[in-house]
């Protein structure tokens, strides 16, 4: 029975299962061809089988991969299936890998009757192991105690394959976040965008600015109860290191100058017009934002980023920049003086000025800045990477191409997984409907009219206003994230929605 044979948390769930569709579970056409998601570039079946009943020999290049806690986790997952993976770190001569893997995330996986050989650079090896786990799960799901001999050669279509999680509107534990990361890794997503701050709660421990935690991390709900929490610096390091073992880069988002009431609740002197602010207990856009005219705000942000970026060894820091109403800036003497002093045209250019100050600072910390597409409303320069989200995103993507900014697609209408996933009555979610089929049909490379030279890839965003539990997060994120993962990894020419659904059904045990 599933409960003992499938201990791994599956992404499929009740009460509504938008997939498989009402037409029933599609059958795999060719059961000789094992299902993998995302679909590999090349899968060649060979004669013979590898029995799974005994310890498996896994050959890889010496020192190619260290025995990490992640590997132990993999072993324990497979141990539930009574499979012991013995890691043989020697590459025997008859298993010499040809041809060389060139893509930084590419891998080769060979199953033959003697054992399993994997090759690839760092992250490629991790992807190879995830493919292997999918194969093993599938075999067990089929009641097979053997794997067919085969060779897989594989690499991704896009470098940026991301999933986001908002932990401000609702807070999720370290264990839940790590479980989310497990799911990302299983479908070869490689970027985790961690939305750590917003009007409704500040979620990062700060030693320099402790009121962010004492005050900004908590909100008073309408029933009078207190809701909130934050990750200690130690916990953040744990998550980042866990992600890194899975081959995932963590991108922290500290949303400024808007979406920052949690900061203002703690340090109201950073507002244009200080008063007693409260961390917000409802959803929407606040008119109160950080004052860009006060030197104190700039100093605060620089000190804060110096502290926080120490926790995140990755290349990127996301500074938000979205939905920052300028009404206060228009009336604030500090903001207006800054506009005059710096020869800026208007309040949008003031936001760009703030951004550029922070870009200079982040550069000293070796970080590249990412911002939502509102940053293109001013003159941000070519350096920041733009996350395209408003409307269908085509305008912003086209503008980014024209201005020379690299960009990531996450258009609202396709990549916002807080939207309903079916039109069924009672289906949880907000706004419109985005189905798994629509996500699967998404082709970032054909999204705008010209050849996308500066496109890095895409991601989906999981805003949690309507997701009070982690169960609900998983319900909303999957299987749409699985469809996105295939859209971002596999050969666009090979995509086939019906066949994808059949693979999805066949891999239910392990996704």
Catalytically active residues, by annotation: 198, 259, 323
- Segment near Zn ion (CB under 5 A), from 59-67, 103-111, 335-343, 348-356? 335-343
Minimum CB separation from ligand ACM for residue 94, in Å? 53
Minimum CB separation from ligand ACM for residue 372, in Å? 4
* 323 close to 377: Cβ distance less than 8 angstroms: no
322 binds ligand ACM (CB under 6 A): yes
Minimum CB separation from ligand ACM for residue 467, in Å? 15
* 365 close to 305: Cβ distance less than 8 angstroms: yes
258 binds Zn ion (CB under 5 A): no
Binding mask 383-402 for ligand ACM (x = CB under 6 A): ------x-------------
465 binds ligand ACM (CB under 6 A): no
Closest by CA to 487, choosing from 428, 411, 431, 432, is 411
Which of 372, 407, 419, 442 is close enough to bind ligand ACM by CB under 6 A?
Answer: 372
335 binds Zn ion (CB under 5 A): yes
Closest by CA to 468, choosing from 256, 200, 135, 236, is 200
401-403-409-412 Cα dihedral, nearest 10 degrees:
-120
176 binds ligand ACM (CB under 6 A): no
Say how far apart CA 70 and CA 43 lie, in whole Å. 26
Nearer to ligand ACM, 219 or 318 (CB): 318
* 458 close to 158: Cβ distance less than 8 angstroms: yes
272 binds Zn ion (CB under 5 A): yes
Residue 257 is given by DSSP the state S
Which of 13, 302, 330, 334 is close enough to bind Zn ion by CB under 5 A?
Answer: 334
Nearer to ligand ACM, 75 or 323 (CB): 323
Q: Quote the longest CA-to-CA distance of the chain.
A: 78
Say how far apart CA 180 and CA 477 lie, in whole Å. 10
Nearer to Zn ion, 304 or 339 (CB): 339
* 118 close to 59: Cβ distance less than 8 angstroms: yes
Nearer to Zn ion, 291 or 484 (CB): 291
Give the C-alpha distances (Å, rounded to integers) separating 385 from 244, 374, 382, 457.
Answer: 22, 12, 8, 12
Nearer to ligand ACM, 372 or 500 (CB): 372
3-state secondary structure of 282: coil
Minimum CB separation from ligand ACM for residue 460, in Å? 12
Nearest residue to ligand ACM by CB is 322
434-437-439-442 Cα dihedral, nearest 10 degrees:
-130
Among ligand ACM, Zn ion, none, residue 389 binds (CB under 5-8 Å by kind): ligand ACM
Nearer to Zn ion, 334 or 379 (CB): 334
Among Zn ion, ligand ACM, none, residue 335 binds (CB under 5-8 Å by kind): Zn ion
293 binds Zn ion (CB under 5 A): yes
Beta-strand ranges (E) seen in 221-356 are 226-228, 249-256, 316-320
* 328 close to 371: Cβ distance less than 8 angstroms: no
Among ligand ACM, Zn ion, none, residue 323 binds (CB under 5-8 Å by kind): ligand ACM
180 binds ligand ACM (CB under 6 A): no
Nearer to ligand ACM, 303 or 322 (CB): 322
How many beta carbons lie within 10 A of that of residue 1, not counting itself? 5
Q: How many residues bind ligand ACM (CB under 6 A)?
A: 4
Q: What is the 3-state secondary structure (H, E, C) of 325-385?
A: CCHHHHHCHHHHHHHHHCCCCCHHHHHHHHHHHHHHHHHHCCCEEEEEHHHHHCCCCCCCE
Minimum CB separation from ligand ACM for residue 328, in Å? 19
Among ligand ACM, Zn ion, none, residue 322 binds (CB under 5-8 Å by kind): ligand ACM
* 216 close to 282: Cβ distance less than 8 angstroms: no
Cα end-to-end distance, the chain, whole Å: 17
Among ligand ACM, Zn ion, none, residue 334 binds (CB under 5-8 Å by kind): Zn ion
307 binds ligand ACM (CB under 6 A): no
The H or E element containing residue 265 is: helix 261-266
Closest by CA to 185, choosing from 168, 162, 153, is 162
* 19 close to 437: Cβ distance less than 8 angstroms: no
Among Zn ion, ligand ACM, none, residue 272 binds (CB under 5-8 Å by kind): Zn ion
Minimum CB separation from ligand ACM for residue 391, in Å? 11
377 binds ligand ACM (CB under 6 A): no
332 binds Zn ion (CB under 5 A): yes
Among Zn ion, ligand ACM, none, residue 293 binds (CB under 5-8 Å by kind): Zn ion
Closest by CA to 329, choosing from 309, 349, 310, 306, is 349
Which of 181, 291, 308, 317 is close enough to bind Zn ion by CB under 5 A?
Answer: 291
Among Zn ion, ligand ACM, none, residue 101 binds (CB under 5-8 Å by kind): none
Nearer to ligand ACM, 206 or 459 (CB): 459
| Close Cβ partners of 255 (under 8 Å, ≥ 6 residues apart) | 195, 197, 198, 319, 320, 321, 322
Q: Which residues bind Zn ion (CB under 5 A)?
A: 272, 291, 293, 332, 334-335
- Positions touching ligand ACM (CB under 6 A) are 322-323, 372, 389
């Amino acid at each position: 029975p599933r409960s003992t044979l499938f201990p791994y948390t599956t992404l499929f769930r009740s009460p509504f299962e938008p997939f498989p569709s009402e037409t029933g579970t599609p059958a795999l056409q060719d059961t000789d061809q094992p299902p993998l998601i995302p679909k590999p570039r090349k899968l060649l079946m060979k004669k013979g089988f590898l029995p799974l009943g005994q310890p498996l020999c896994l050959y890889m290049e010496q020192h190619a991969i260290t025995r990490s806690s992640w590997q132990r986790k993999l072993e324990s997952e497979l141990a539930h299936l009574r499979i012991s993976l013995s890691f043989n770190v020697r590459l025997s001569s008859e298993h010499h890998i040809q041809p060389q893997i060139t893509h930084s995330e590419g891998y080769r996986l060979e199953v033959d009757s003697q054992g399993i050989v994997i090759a690839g650079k760092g992250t490629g090896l991790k992807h190879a192991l995830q493919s292997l786990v999918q194969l093993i799960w599938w075999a067990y799901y089929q009641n097979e105690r053997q794997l067919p001999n085969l060779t897989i050669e594989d690499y991704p279509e896009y470098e940026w394959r991301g999933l986001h999680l908002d932990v401000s509107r609702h807070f999720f534990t370290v264990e839940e976040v790590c479980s989310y990361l497990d799911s990302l890794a299983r479908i070869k997503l490689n970027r985790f965008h961690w939305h750590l701050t917003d009007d409704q709660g500040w979620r990062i421990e700060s030693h320099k600015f402790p009121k962010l935690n004492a005050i900004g991390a908590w909100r008073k709900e309408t029933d009078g109860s207190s809701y909130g929490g934050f990750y200690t610096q130690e916990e953040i390091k744990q998550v980042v290191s866990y992600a890194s073992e899975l081959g995932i880069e963590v991108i922290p988002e500290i949303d400024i100058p808007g979406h920052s009431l949690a900061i203002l609740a703690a340090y109201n002197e950073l507002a244009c017009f200080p008063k007693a602010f409260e961390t917000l207990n409802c959803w929407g856009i606040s008119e109160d934002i950080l004052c860009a005219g006060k030197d104190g705000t700039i100093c605060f942000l620089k000190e804060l980023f110096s502290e926080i970026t120490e926790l995140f060894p990755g290349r990127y820091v996301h500074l938000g920049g979205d939905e920052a109403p300028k009404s206060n800036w228009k009336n604030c003497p500090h903001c207006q003086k800054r506009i005059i002093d710096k020869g800026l045209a208007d309040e949008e250019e003031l936001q760009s000025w703030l951004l550029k100050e922070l870009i200079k600072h982040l550069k000293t910390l070796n970080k590249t800045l990412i911002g939502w597409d509102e940053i293109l409303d001013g003159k941000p320069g070519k350096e920041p990477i733009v996350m395209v989200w408003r409307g269908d995103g085509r305008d912003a993507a086209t503008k980014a191409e024209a201005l020379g900014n690299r960009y990531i697609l996450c258009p609202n209408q396709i990549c916002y997984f807080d939207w309903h996933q079916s039109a069924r009555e009672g289906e949880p979610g907000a706004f419109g409907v985005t189905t798994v089929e629509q996500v699967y049909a998404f082709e970032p490379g054909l999204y705008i009219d010209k050849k996308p030279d500066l496109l890095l890839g895409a991601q989906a965003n999981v805003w949690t206003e309507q997701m009070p539990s982690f169960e609900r997060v998983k319900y909303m994120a999957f299987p749409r994230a699985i469809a996105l993962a295939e859209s971002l990894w596999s050969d666009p020419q090979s995509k086939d929605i019906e066949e994808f659904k059949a693979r999805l059904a066949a891999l239910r045990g392990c996704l």
